[in-house]
Amino acid sequence: MSSQAGADPATDIPTVASPAQSVRVGVRFHRGQALEDAETDLVSVEEPLEIRLGYRAGDEPVEQALSVTMRTPGNDFDLALGFLLSEGVIQSGADVIGTETCGPPSPDKGLYNTVKVTLADGVNVDTENLTRYVYTSSSCGVCGKASLDAVHVQIPDGDRDVFRISADNLKALPAALRAKQTEFDRTGGLHASACFDDDGSIHRLREDVGRHNALDKLIGSYLAAREPPLADRGVLLSGRASFELMQKAAMTSTAFVAAIGPPSSLAVELAVAEGITLVGFLKAGTFNVYAGAERIT
């Protein structure tokens, strides 16, 4: 268990000092007509958090892995408790008698990425429904490196060197995407995922209130049509590039992911590990390249 930095006087739930929420990574800035020399840029940290549940089944104490979610470290107890409340596992703070970090720190970054929430005696736990939350767990602690290793095993092999796009065509993508976001025009509240060709044209687009859902819909549309995966096209994200979105894109064997927003640290790590070009902060006149600059002509 990690040391605690204090307690919230309103709840007596211990709090933990917040780790760094951004890190510097290597980047090459595109300004004007060329890529400038390599520099560094701040990206938001993304790491997995495992939520574990402690409770009593009769006279026996039980500890169960409940869920793993990607998050920016900090306020992890709030995240765990909010998740349990929103999913109906608990009804109020009175159902919780303790919240703590547990397990060893992650071997790659030294972060405590597991939170255990212990429920009060008498709280009814539906063990059958609990299984729907479980995504993955690790006996050696949850860490970004462990997640990358697991993803690397699942991602299919493919030739990711076939796709190239010019800087001018790349910078035209945001306007092309915006022109096709019909539902966004109506609500202003939807994420979009699209695939694009090397001439900068949008081949297909899907929108959804959840950015993960939008990308799933885009990928699924090709599967439903019995069309090949996106190995010969790029993927465009209307928001930020997270680890989970990069993982989904990698499963299609795409060589190129461009995002209107910023990438997370773990997204950059995955792009580098899998040889995927990753562009962030894509605008009409500029963009940042975090991995795979050789595919931009």
Catalytic residues: 140
3: how many CB neighbours lie within 10 A of its CB? 9
Residue 171: closest CA among 6, 13, 283, 44: 283
Q: Cα 53 vs. chain centroid, distance in angstroms? A: 23
Token pair of 114 as six digits: 């597991």
Residue whose C-alpha is closest to residue 267's, from 147, 134, 141 = 147
* Enclosing H/E stretch for 205: strand 202-208
Quote helix, strand, coil % in the chain, to nearest 5: 30, 30, 40
In angstroms, what is the C-alpha Rg of the chain? 21
- Strand 22-31 and strand 34-44: the pairing is antiparallel
Give how far the C-alpha of residue 212 lies from the chain's centroid of Cα atoms, to the nearest Å.
9
Cα distances from 167 to residues 14, 30, 258, in angstroms, run 50, 9, 12
Q: Which two tokens stand for residue 191?
A: 């994420």
Burial of residue 36, with CB atoms counted within 10 A of its CB: 0-12 exposed, 13-18 middle, 19 or more buried? exposed
